[in-house]
Structure 1
Amino acid sequence: MWKTALKPRWIAGLVFAIAVSGVFVLLSQWQFGRSTQPEIPVNPATEDARALTDTLQPGDFFHGSVADQMVTAEGSYDPAKQVLVPGRLYNGESGYWVVSAFAVTGAPALSGVAASPQTWIPVARGWVADPADAAAPPSGTLELTGRLLPSESPVPETAPEQGRATAVSVAELINYWGVSSYPGFIAATAEISNGSDVSPAAVPGELKPLRIGPQPPAQQVNWLNLFYSLEWVVFAGFAIFIWWRLVKDDYLRDLEDRLEDGSAHQPDAGPAESHPKAQTSSSEPTEQKVQP
Structure 2
Amino acid sequence: MTHAPDPRSDAAPRPDAATAVSGPGGSGAAGPTVGQVARRPRSLALLALALVIAAGFAALGQWQLARAVESGVVIERDTETALPLGTLAQPQGYVTDTSAGHMVTVQGSLVPGDFVVVSDRLNAGRTGAWVVGHLSITDDGSADPAPDALPASVPVALGWTATDDEAAAVATQLDAGDGSPTGVQEIVGRFLPSEQPEPPGEGQDPQRMTRLSTAALVNLWPGDAGDVYNGFIVASTPIAGLTAIDSPPPSEAVQLNWLNIFYAAEWAVFAVFAIVIWYRTVRDTWTREQPGYREDEDEDEDGDEDGDDPLPDGGRDEAVGAPRRGSRADADR
Normalising TM by the smaller chain, what interval? 0.5 to 0.7
- Residue deviations 1:50-73 (CA, integer Å, cap 9, x gap): 101222111222223311111100
Residue 99 of structure 1 corresponds to 132
Does 1:211 pair with 2:247?
A: yes
Structure 1: runs of 5 or more not aligned: 1-34, 111-115, 191-198, 231-292
Give, in angstroms, the shift of residue 223 of structure 1.
Answer: 4.4
Q: Secondary structure at the match of 2:196?
A: coil
Matching residue's letter, 1:186? I
Q: CA deviation at 1:121?
A: 0.3
Q: Is 1:44 aligned to residue 77 of structure 2?
A: yes
- Identity, % of aligned pairs? 32
Q: Give the conservation status (yes or no) of the 8 Å contact 2:83–2:105.
A: yes
Q: 2:190 aligns with which of 127, 137, 147?
A: 147
Deviations 1:6-39 (A, max 9, x none): xxxxxxxxxxxxxxxxxxxxxxxxxxxxx79962
Which residue pairs with 2:288 in the alignment? none
Separation in 1, partners of 2:104, 2:156: 12
Structure 2 matches for 1:32-111, cutoff 5 A?
Answer: 39-41=72-74, 43-106=76-139
CA separation in 1, counterparts of 2:214 and 2:205? 15
Superposed CA deviations along residues 200-223 of structure 1, whole A, max 9, x for unmatched, are 5xx7x5433333322336534144
Contact map agreement 1:126 1:210 (CA 8 A) in 2 = no
Given that 1:81 and 1:101 are in contact with CA atoms closer than 8 Å, whether structure 2 keeps it comes out as yes
Structure 1 residues 109, 167: closer, same or farther in 2, change over 3 A? farther
**Aligned residue for 1:165?**
209
Native 8 Å contact 1:38 1:217 kept in 2: no
1:130 partner letter: T
Q: Deviations over 1:136-189 (max 9, x none)?
A: 343332111111111100004668555x42311011111111423111111111
1:185 — aligned with what?
A: 232
Q: Secondary structure at 1:66's aligned position in 2?
A: coil
Taking the aligned partners of 1:50 and 1:151, their CA distance within structure 2 comes to 19
Once residues 152 and 108 of structure 2 are traced to their aligned partners in structure 1, the CA distance between those partners, rounded to angstroms, is: 10
**CA distance 1:165–1:157, shift in 2 (3 Å):** closer
The total of aligned residue pairs comes to: 185
Other structure's SS at 1:80 match: coil
Change (3 A) 1:140 1:160: farther
The TM-score normalised by the length of structure 2 is 0.47
- Asked if structure 2 preserves the Cα contact closer than 8 Å seen for 1:74 and 1:142, the reply is yes
Q: Could you tell me how far apart the structure 2 residues matched to 1:55 and 1:188 are? A: 17
- The TM-score normalised by the length of structure 1 is 0.52
What amino acid is the match of 2:216? Answer: E
Q: After the TM superposition, which segments of 4 or more aligned residues of structure 1 sit over 4 Å from their partners?
A: 35-38, 107-110, 157-162, 222-230
After superposition, the C-alpha distances for 1:102-143 in whole angstroms (9 at most, x for unaligned) are 111135769xxxxx8221101112211123433234333211
Report the Cα distance in structure 1 between the residues aligned to 2:124 and 2:69, rounded to whole angstroms: 28
Say yes or no: does 1:128 pair with 2:161.
yes
Aligned to 1:7: none
Provide closer, same or farther for how the CA distance between residues 161 and 141 of structure 1 changes in structure 2, counting only shifts above 3 A.
farther
Q: Is the 8 A contact 2:123 2:245 kept in 1?
A: no
Deviation for aligned residue 1:228: 8.8
CA RMSD, Structure 1 to Structure 2 (Å): 3.7
